């Protein structure tokens, strides 16, 4: 009956474990090791149950039961291996501390009693192996549960319960075996219960292995506790002599703990050095992008009422330095620049290199005045020449600042707006610029506007108005300039100033210009079919000017509408040429070869007008309205217009004056030799359906004037 009671359940448990190994692949080898442990336990239990009295200790059953421990430890190692990238020195030292500490505790508590009952030698070693194995398994359970914190799945809880029950059964078994007594009735129940807890764990629902992180205080809990216990054992030995084996095991445990402490110190030192490297820019020694973002987040997480400034610093002409002297020279300059920036900012803030020649300043407690002053001091610091390979180089920088909470209360907004301000400073060449939302082409409102404008193109909401260009000799309308408007469904008709400046720096500008070209040529074809001999001028955007496909698109549109190239004039400004003069020159040359007219718009307001005028293949020169509008009352403007007109004529160019607002200005322009004029004096831009009336009215006036003259 005892055999059936004790043996059959553990045999069933063994069979269930083996079936689990066959049926499921996850952690198969670990569960196989546990099946071996359960099987050995089953064999030992059946052997014990088959004898009516107590067996002599140790017996074959004891040896079979003892196999449970190494097999279980192997299973634990296999479970751990699937959840950890590697077993490092720290883990092995922790294992040694667990083994030695457990052995010291068991030897100190039970060693003397066991030795007194059965004598020293291998019998004592076997008797102690049971509690030592149980202690070691308990230590492993504590470590596993500690590392997992509160995220413990049912499978690990069941394994822990099985180990605890097995430890209880072993303690009772050893106690009875050593004392020669009969085991208590509950001992087999504990053994059977432990086996079925392990089987229940094996058949728990599968889940993918979750990596265990060996970081933080949890890794030191078990070694610390064991060190305290064995230390107490050594102190106790000073007053009460224990077994030499317990003393030596305690001492060995403390040596292992000292080794663990030394290893932890080395690892922490390496970790600190690694963190320093991870947060420091290698070239300049400054903070890097990661540290800057961490510190900025810390500052923003505090009192939001305290002012804070973020500044972006970007070197001017740094690419020119790299292209001229090489990247090595650029690195040398940046290495010298870092300490200078740090000296300027000092303890007032953090200086970081974000990448390339872009730096960031974090200035806690700084308002606009302090940010402006620091930026001025940065500019002064840059004026001291940098020595690069024997050469003295002076650099300038563009600095943009954003303030918290005025310009934003989160890191992303502040950095983005400081970057916008820096580019504003670079474009205006002012050196420093505080964030100005009215000049932000990257604001949320602009993004909304661009989305609406994209839909406007799809819905054909963009319309053209046309401003007449009058021949100053005949008074007739010789052509028109196409000017885009937005017929907004909510806000009504919107002028180009409301949307073109925002669209100019996006990919939307190219299709918008092609839409204007398509619409203008379609309308021109209709007018010419109606007998109006006109040409049309359309402004080219920089995206189209730099697109080598533009001449082909223009040729296709002209062919589609049956128009000769001579009726189309494409206007470009001097500032557009600065982006990529070579590519822009190629596109203009192809358009010139196609036969289109080319006009240099806003002449006199660019950076190198005469150079462009000599080099570009244009046949029309448009004098900017800023000179024309006041020429009838400003002698200097009148002289500029006259000399520009004379220059254009001497180069064989047609000269067009913009912004004519009075008859007196028109008369002066005719006298100095301008060819065409446009402005409100003649007509504002008008819808396409109103233009034929203006053209025919001018013809009628000319006919009427001729009739009067003949009389």
Greatest CA span in the chain, whole angstroms? 153
- pLDDT at 317 > cutoff 60: yes
pLDDT band per the 50, 70, 90 thresholds, residue 384: confident
Structure confidence by residue, pLDDT tens digits, 34-69: 778 777 777 776 676 666 555 556 666 677 777 877
Helices (H), 24-121: 28-49, 60-66, 68-81, 89-118
Q: Considering only residues 273 and 576, tell me which one the structure prediction assigns the higher pLDDT.
A: 576
Q: Domain-by-domain residue ranges, the chain?
A: 2-205+215-264, 289-439, 463-483+509-618+681-710
The terminus-to-terminus CA distance of the chain in angstroms comes to 147
Residue 187, pLDDT score: 65
Task: Give the lowest-confidence range in 554-563, 610-619, 629-638, 644-653.
Answer: 610-619
The helix or strand, by DSSP H or E, that contains position 659, with its residue range, turns out to be: none
Residue located via tokens 């885009």 = 484
Averaged pLDDT of the chain: 77
Structure confidence by residue, pLDDT tens digits, 215-228: 544 555 556 665 55
Nearest to 382 by CA among 343, 435, 429: 343
pLDDT band per the 50, 70, 90 thresholds, residue 521: very high
Mean pLDDT (whole number) for 98-120: 59
DSSP class per residue in 526-554: HHHHTT---EEEEEPPHHHHT-TTHHHHH
- How many Cα atoms sit within 13 Å of 678 on the Cβ side? 23
Share of the chain above pLDDT 90, in %: 19
pLDDT band per the 50, 70, 90 thresholds, residue 346: confident
Residue 560, pLDDT score: 94
Q: Which residues in 312-331 are b (16+ Cβ under 10 Å) and which e?
A: bbbbbebeebbeebeeebbe
Residue 452, pLDDT score: 84
Could you give the CA distance from residue 94 to residue 143 in angstroms, rounded to a whole number?
10
- pLDDT at 610 > cutoff 80: no
Mean pLDDT (whole number) for 328-356: 88
- pLDDT at 703 > cutoff 60: no
Could you give the CA distance from residue 126 to residue 81 in angstroms, rounded to a whole number?
29
Residue 321, pLDDT score: 81
Tally the residues of the chain.
711
Share of the chain above pLDDT 70, in %: 67
Could you give the CA distance from residue 693 to residue 710 in angstroms, rounded to a whole number?
26
pLDDT band per the 50, 70, 90 thresholds, residue 709: very low
- pLDDT at 122 > cutoff 70: no
Could you give the CA distance from residue 393 to residue 464 in angstroms, rounded to a whole number?
51
Judge contact between 465 and 687, C-beta under 8 A.
yes
Q: Which CATH class is domain 463-483+509-618+681-710?
A: alpha beta
Could you give the CA distance from residue 526 to residue 480 in angstroms, rounded to a whole number?
14
Mean pLDDT (whole number) for 458-483: 92
Q: Considering only residues 405 and 519, tell me which one the structure prediction assigns the higher pLDDT.
A: 519
**Helix axis angle, 186-202 relative to 2-23, nearest 10°?**
10
Question: Tell me, which fold does domain 289-439 have in CATH?
Answer: Alpha-Beta Plaits (3.30.70)
- pLDDT at 105 > cutoff 70: no
pLDDT band per the 50, 70, 90 thresholds, residue 464: very high
- pLDDT at 25 > cutoff 50: yes
Residues contacting 392, CB < 8 A, separation 6+: 385, 386
Q: Taking the CA atoms of the chain, what radius of gyration do you get in angstroms?
A: 45
Mean pLDDT (whole number) for 496-506: 77
Q: Considering only residues 211 and 400, tell me which one the structure prediction assigns the higher pLDDT.
A: 400
How is residue 426 written in tokens? Answer: 């670079």
Could you give the CA distance from residue 338 to residue 281 in angstroms, rounded to a whole number?
10
Alpha-carbon torsion angle 235, 236, 239, 241, nearest 10: -120
Could you give the CA distance from residue 496 to residue 502 in angstroms, rounded to a whole number?
10
How is residue 265 written in tokens? Answer: 């110190």
pLDDT band per the 50, 70, 90 thresholds, residue 411: confident
Residue 101, pLDDT score: 64
Could you give the CA distance from residue 234 to residue 248 in angstroms, rounded to a whole number?
9
- pLDDT at 286 > cutoff 60: yes
Nearest to 620 by CA among 596, 588, 591, 654: 654
Q: Considering only residues 615 and 373, tell me which one the structure prediction assigns the higher pLDDT.
A: 373
Residue 608, pLDDT score: 47
- How many Cα atoms sit within 13 Å of 708 on the Cβ side? 6
Residue 231, pLDDT score: 54
How is residue 697 written in tokens? Answer: 């009215």
Structure confidence by residue, pLDDT tens digits, 188-213: 677 677 777 777 777 777 665 555 55
Q: Considering only residues 581 and 685, tell me which one the structure prediction assigns the higher pLDDT.
A: 685
Residue 707, pLDDT score: 45
Q: Considering only residues 566 and 53, tell me which one the structure prediction assigns the higher pLDDT.
A: 566
Residue 322, pLDDT score: 79
pLDDT band per the 50, 70, 90 thresholds, residue 95: low
Residue 238, pLDDT score: 44
Residue 1, pLDDT score: 40
Cis peptide leading into residue 58 (ω within 30°): yes
Q: Considering only residues 581 and 344, tell me which one the structure prediction assigns the higher pLDDT.
A: 344
- pLDDT at 239 > cutoff 50: no
Mean pLDDT (whole number) for 696-703: 76
Quick one: residue 485, left, alpha or beta (phi over 0 = left, psi -120 to 50 = alpha)?
Answer: beta
- pLDDT at 305 > cutoff 50: yes
**DSSP strand E in 499-644: where?**
535-539, 568-573, 597-603, 620-623
Q: How many CB atoms lie within 10 A of CB 437?
A: 12
């Amino acid at each position: 009956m005892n055999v059936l009671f004790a043996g059959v359940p553990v045999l069933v448990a063994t069979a269930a474990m083996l079936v689990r190994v066959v049926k499921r692949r996850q952690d198969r080898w670990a569960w196989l090791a546990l099946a071996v442990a359960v099987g050995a336990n089953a064999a030992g239990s059946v052997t014990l149950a088959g004898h009516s009295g107590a067996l002599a200790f140790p017996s074959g059953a004891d040896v079979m039961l003892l196999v449970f421990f190494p097999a279980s430890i192997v299973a634990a190692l296999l479970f751990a291996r699937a959840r950890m990238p590697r077993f490092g020195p720290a883990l092995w030292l922790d294992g040694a501390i667990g083994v030695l500490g457990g052995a010291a505790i068991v030897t100190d508590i039970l060693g003397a009693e066991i030795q007194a009952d059965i004598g020293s030698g291998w019998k004592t070693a076997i008797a102690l192996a049971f509690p030592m194995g149980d202690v070691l398994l308990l230590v492993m359970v504590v470590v596993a549960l500690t590392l997992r914190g509160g995220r413990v799945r049912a499978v690990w809880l069941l394994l822990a319960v099985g180990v605890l029950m097995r430890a209880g059964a072993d303690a009772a078994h050893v106690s009875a075996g050593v004392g020669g007594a009969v085991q208590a009735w509950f001992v087999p129940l504990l053994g059977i219960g432990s086996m079925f807890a392990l089987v229940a764990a094996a058949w728990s629902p599968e889940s993918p292995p979750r990596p265990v992180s060996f970081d933080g205080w949890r890794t030191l809990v078990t070694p610390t506790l064991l060190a305290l216990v064995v230390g107490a054992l050594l102190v106790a030995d000073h007053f009460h002599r224990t077994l030499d084996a317990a003393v030596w095991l305690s001492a060995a445990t403390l040596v292992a703990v000292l080794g663990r402490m030394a290893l932890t110190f080395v690892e922490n030192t390496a970790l600190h050095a690694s963190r320093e490297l991870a947060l420091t820019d290698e070239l300049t020694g400054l903070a890097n992008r990661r540290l800057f973002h961490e510190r900025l987040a810390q500052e923003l997480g505090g009192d939001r009422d305290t002012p804070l400034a973020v500044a972006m610093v970007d070197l001017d002409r740094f690419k020119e330095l790299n292209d001229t002297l090489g990247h090595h020279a650029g690195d040398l300059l940046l290495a010298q620049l870092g300490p200078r920036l740090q000296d300027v900012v000092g303890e007032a803030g953090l200086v970081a290199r974000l990448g390339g020649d872009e730096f960031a300043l974090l200035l806690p407690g700084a308002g606009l005045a302090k940010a402006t002053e620091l930026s001025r001091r940065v500019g002064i610091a840059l004026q001291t020449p940098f020595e690069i390979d024997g050469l003295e180089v002076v650099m300038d920088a563009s600095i943009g600042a954003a303030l918290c909470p005025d310009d934003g209360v989160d890191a992303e907004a502040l950095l983005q707006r400081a970057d916008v301000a820096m580019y504003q400073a670079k474009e205006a060449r002012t050196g420093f610029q505080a964030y100005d939302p009215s000049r932000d082409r990257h604001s949320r409102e602009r993004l909304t506007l661009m989305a609406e404008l994209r839909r406007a193109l799809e819905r054909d909401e963009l319309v053209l108005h046309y401003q007449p260009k009058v021949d100053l000799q005949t008074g007739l309308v010789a052509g028109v300039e196409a000017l885009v408007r937005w017929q907004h469904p909510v806000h009504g008709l919107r002028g180009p100033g409301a949307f073109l400046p925002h669209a100019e720096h996006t990919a939307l500008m190219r299709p918008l210009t092609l839409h204007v070209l398509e619409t203008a040529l379609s309308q021109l074809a209709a007018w010419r079919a109606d007998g109006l001999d006109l040409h049309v001028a359309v402004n080219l955007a920089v995206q189209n000017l730099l697109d080598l496909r533009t001449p082909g698109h223009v040729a296709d549109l002209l062919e589609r509408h049956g128009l000769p190239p001579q009726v189309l004039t494409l206007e470009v400004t001097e500032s557009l040429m600065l982006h990529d003069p070579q590519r822009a020159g190629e596109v203009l040359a192809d358009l010139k070869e196609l036969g289109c007219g080319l006009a240099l718009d806003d002449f006199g307001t660019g950076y190198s007008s005469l150079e462009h005028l000599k080099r570009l293949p244009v046949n029309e020169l448009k004098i900017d309205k800023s000179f024309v509008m006041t020429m009838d009352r400003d002698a200097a403007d009148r002289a500029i217009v006259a000399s520009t007109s004379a220059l254009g004529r001497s180069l064989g160019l047609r000269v067009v004056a913009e912004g004519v607002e009075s008859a007196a200005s028109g008369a002066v322009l005719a006298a100095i030799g301008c060819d065409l004029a446009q402005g409100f004096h003649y007509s504002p831009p008008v819808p396409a359906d109103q233009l034929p009336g203006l053209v025919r009215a001018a013809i009628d006036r000319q006919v009427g004037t001729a009739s009067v003259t003949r009389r």
